[in-house]
Amino acid sequence: MTVYKSIQLVGTSDKNWADAVKNCYEEAKKSLRGIRNIHIIESDVKVKEDVDKMIYRVRVQVNFQLER
């Protein structure tokens, strides 16, 4: 029998959404083993007009297998 657990993370990037997801994955794999998939729940862009910059943000669900 296999059991999975899910956590939610928010990642950011000044490049694109894919890079924001990659940042979540890179951080998650530092402390989690058995990551099976990452589901994008929500994405948006934060605009910083004063410095003419956009920050891409994603909220993801990371699913990983529990070890026995």
Q: What is the pLDDT of residue 11?
A: 98
More confident residue, 31 or 1: 31
| Statement: residue 37 has pLDDT above 90 | yes
Domains and CATH numbers, the chain: 4-65 (3.30.1660.10)
- What is this structure's pTM? 0.88
Q: What is the pLDDT of residue 49?
A: 86
| DSSP letter assigned to residue 66 | P
| 23-34 tens-digit pLDDT | 999 999 999 999
| Statement: residue 68 has pLDDT above 80 | no
- pLDDT (mean) for 56-66: 97
Angle formed at CA 65 by CA 25 and CA 44, multiple of 5 degrees: 35
Say how far apart CA 9 and CA 23 lie, in whole Å.
10
Say how far apart CA 17 and CA 29 lie, in whole Å.
19
Strand partners, 55: 46
3-state SS class at 36: strand
